Chains A and B, each alone.
Chain A
Amino acid sequence: MRLFSDTTLWLTILLLGVGTFLIRFSFLAVAGGRSLPKWVLRLLRYVPMSVLPALVAPLVVWPQATGGTLDLPRLAAAVTALAVGALSRNVLVAIGAGLAVLYALLALGV
């Protein structure tokens, strides 16, 4: 019972695969060429820390599993992952802490 067609899935996999390879190959393909201008590097630096939060914010505020209602276990889990990730700088520890809070609160029926 998935919500998208086979074609949609395979197109996404293939295009993302080819596109990602081209990004990785870009400069290696022309080894000996010029480096990127400074302003491009500056922009590139901020892409991941913009795209990931932009993607995640609506999922936290309007979770799909609750039909779009803000709920405490998911909000608390998000805040925990953020705080632990920022302090520990360790992605796996942050995921573990976030999931632990989520399951603990769901188990308590909060």
Chain B
Amino acid sequence: MLVVMPFGLLFGTVAADAGLDLVEIMAFSMLVIAGASQFAALQLLVEQAPVAVAVLTGLAVNLRMAMYSASLMPHFAGVSLRLRALAAYAMVDQVFALSIARFAQTPLTASERVTFYFGVAAPIIPVWYLGTWFGAEVGGQISPAFALDFAVPITFIAMAAPMLRTPPAVVAALVAVATSLLAVDLPFNLGVVLGGLVGTVSGALSEVLWEQRA
């Protein structure tokens, strides 16, 4: 929750700075509720990339949630489709992490799990909306001297850095950076997509090699 508020603030601020109005900014945060992908898509729009590239890059950032969905699946067996859809909507990193940790530790009935999951989501999701709203309100008034253009790159680096815990993760990141820089002249910002793809495959391959060595 402590992380969600400043992220929302930053997104609202950066989006207002990019020229979005309040309705657009709130729609962004309420329909997507996935900060990193929102920053990524918005950044690409600012760079005048086509819709397809902005959406694909945003979705790639969110692909990890397929893992969340798969991990939560057995714990939501027998729960109504409507509640599972609502759970999907609220599936942000913090809700997933807290819930799966709890489900792994404590034997609970399906309805207790549902209660716990939405109990975690209930304070987090509105804080994301509120943070975005506050950010949107102040964002338009911030002077260019604050170099907000660079808040987004710093945010991405700060999000990626803690993930670089293993050699394969470092390989994935380095290959992605190198590919993206070499492919920067590709049209439609496709260099970013290519970097993401080549980095992902390099990471997975080096994990295989790393496991065989160990």
Interface residues of A (CB under 8 A from B): 1-4, 8-17, 19-21, 23-33, 35-36, 39, 41-65, 73-74, 77-78, 81-86, 88-92, 94-95, 98-99, 102-103, 106
Comparing B101-109, B127-135, B144-152, the segment that makes contact with chain A is: B144-152
Residues of B within 8 A of A (CB): 2-3, 6, 10, 18-20, 24, 27-28, 31-34, 36-38, 40-41, 43-48, 50-51, 54-55, 57-70, 72-74, 76-79, 81, 84-85, 87-89, 91, 145-147, 149-164, 168-169, 172-177, 179-181, 184, 191-204, 207-208
B64 touches A47 (CB 8 A): yes
The A interface is mostly helix, strand or loop, or mixed, namely helix
Q: Which residues of A contact B10 (CB under 8 A)?
A: 95
Given contacts A46-B203, A94-B161, contact A9 B24 (CB under 8 A): yes
Q: Could you tell me the distance between the alpha carbons of A30 and B195 in the complex, rounded to whole angstroms?
A: 32
User: Are A56 and B60 within 8 A (Cβ)?
Assistant: no
Report the separation of the CA atoms of residues A82 and B47 in the bound assembly, to the nearest whole angstrom: 23
Asked if A103 contacts B66 (CB within 8 A), the reply is no
User: How long is the Cα–Cα vector from A8 to B57 in the complex, in angstroms?
Assistant: 15
> B76, A54: Cβ atoms under 8 Å?
no
A61 to B159, CA, bound (A): 18
29 contacts between A and B (CB under 8 A): A3-B48, A4-B48, A8-B51, A10-B24, A13-B24, A13-B32, A16-B31, A17-B31, A17-B32, A19-B55, A19-B59, A29-B85, A29-B88, A42-B204, A45-B67, A48-B163, A50-B176, A52-B157, A53-B173, A54-B199, A55-B180, A55-B196, A56-B157, A57-B177, A59-B43, A61-B181, A74-B147, A85-B162, A91-B162
Whether A43 pairs with B200 at a CB distance below 8 angstroms is: yes
